[in-house]
Amino acid sequence: MKKNPIEEAIEIVGGQTALAKKIGVKQPTVFKWLKKGVIPPRKVLIVEKITGISRFKLNPDIYPD
């Protein structure tokens, strides 16, 4: 099964807690994003910078490809 971009981001940084710390949120917030399948607009660019995953994949609603 293909991973969604949020799962990829979590894997790249070493877990939900690690991603949360790097972007200034708590781990349950990352868990919510994982369940929803998108990262909110205010955090997309920082996650892109940290992980190298395109903003177009992280939140295609606000960054259409």
State in words which class domain 5-54 has: mainly alpha
- Print the SS3 string covering the chain: CCCCHHHHHHHHHCCHHHHHHHHCCCHHHHHHHHHHCCCCHHHHHHHHHHHCCCHHHHCCCCCCC
Question: What was the pLDDT predicted at 17?
Answer: 97
CA distances (Å), 38 to each of 53, 62, in order?
A: 13, 10
Q: pLDDT tens across 12-61, in order?
A: 999 999 999 999 999 999 999 999 888 999 999 999 999 999 999 999 88
- How far apart, in whole angstroms, are the C-alpha atoms of residue 36 and residue 52? 21
pTM exceeding the 0.75 threshold for the entire prediction: yes
